[in-house]
Amino acid sequence: MPILDSEHPVVAAPMAGGPSTIALARAAVSAGAFPFLAGGYQSPDALAAQVAEARGIGGAFGVNLFAAEPTDVDETAFEAFVDEISGEAREYEIVLSPEPIGDDDHLDEKVALLTDDPVPVVSFTFGLPGASAIRALQAAGSVVLATVTTTEEARRAVDSGVNGLVVQGPAAGGHSATFDPARDPRPIETAELVRRVRHELDAPVIAAGGVDGPRAVSELIAAGAESVQVGTALLRTDEAGTSAAHRAALADPAFTETTVTRVFTGRPARALRNGFIDRHQHAQIDAYPAVHHLTRALRRAAAEAGDTDRLHLWAGTGWRAARTGPAADVLRWLADA
């Protein structure tokens, strides 16, 4: 029995910060794919409302949560980074606070919410919740998945009792799921990472990262994945909540590559390479979520102004293949259905 209940082995990735919507989840169900809601960045109340709405999409769905380990902020490095980018913020009349802000994304409250009001699947990224949280969600009837980027993380996740793994290769768009934001993602093809995890561990695997068409999906299934999670391929679709500026950048031939950067949030993430990355990449700042909070107002202002030079343009290596139109068409195309 596959771990995810869907007709096709294709999963609409959770994409926090706007792109994941109820409409996208509904479109995924209608195409026979498995959808995730993005629980990260949302308040527990907003997540509860979204889960309530998702009960009406006509099929099973998952909720993704951030489970980042708290990291110590090097205050000297953080202040230097504030100085480094303050000129960019001033362009939007934004004054940056040199006080690092930390938070745990309300993880415990969100787990409690999903334990009280269970959903079919809960996945975690950036780290693992405690074993008791995993057990509580499973006791409530949920399948629990952990996102991992190495065989070591996969082993830790399996040891903590999860039902399955989302194995994310470094080609993936957006944040790396790495448990250690100070570590640079090791270069490896997603299919190879899937093979290694499957060789070492007996756990169902959902593969993610760099999918640019049905062939990539088949390759990942052949490597041992039971299904394939796609993010970037959905960013330009009708139902995604992607900002206009982000959509424009994905279609703009002036962007010629993606790169992994920490300059927007303090955590490695793959994005279209733009001026903000080029100007600040040398800073090597790894304070998540302090850098996320620091740059948030600037990124919001940049998005509103259509300033793609200062925006975090999350994209996987397959971004050129991201199509416009109904998400269900894209998902059926990927599933070769």
Ligand X SMILES: Cc1cc2nc3c(=O)[nH]c(=O)nc-3n(C[C@H](O)[C@H](O)[C@H](O)COP(=O)(O)O)c2cc1C
DSSP 8-class letter at 166 = E
Please tell me the distance from the alpha carbon of residue 128 to that of residue 67, in angstroms, as a whole number: 6
- Give me the half-sphere count of Cα atoms (radius 13 Å) on the Cβ side of residue 86: 10
Please tell me the distance from the alpha carbon of residue 278 to that of residue 177, in angstroms, as a whole number: 23
Closest CB to ligand X among residues 176, 290: 176
Binding mask 269-308 toward ligand X (x if CB under 6 A, else -) reads: ----------------------------------------
**Is position 19 an interface residue for ligand X (rule: CB under 6 A)?**
yes
Please tell me the distance from the alpha carbon of residue 62 to that of residue 148, in angstroms, as a whole number: 17
Contact 109/58 with Cβ under 8 angstroms?
A: no
Q: How far is the CB of 246 from ligand X (least distance, A)?
A: 8
Residue 329, Ramachandran bin (φ over 0: left; ψ between -120 and 50: alpha; else beta): alpha
**Is position 128 an interface residue for ligand X (rule: CB under 6 A)?**
no
Candidates 227, 229, 243, 261; binder of ligand X (CB under 6 A) is: 229
**Is position 172 an interface residue for ligand X (rule: CB under 6 A)?**
yes
Q: How far is the CB of 315 from ligand X (least distance, A)?
A: 6
Candidates 6, 42, 50, 125; binder of ligand X (CB under 6 A) is: 125
By three-state DSSP, how is residue 35 classified? strand
Closest CA to 153 of 120, 186, 175: 186
Q: How far is the CB of 153 from ligand X (least distance, A)?
A: 13
Candidates 149, 232, 237, 258; binder of ligand X (CB under 6 A) is: 232
Residues that bind ligand X (CB under 6 A): 13-16, 19, 38, 40, 64, 125, 147, 168, 171-174, 177, 208-211, 229-233, 314, 316, 318
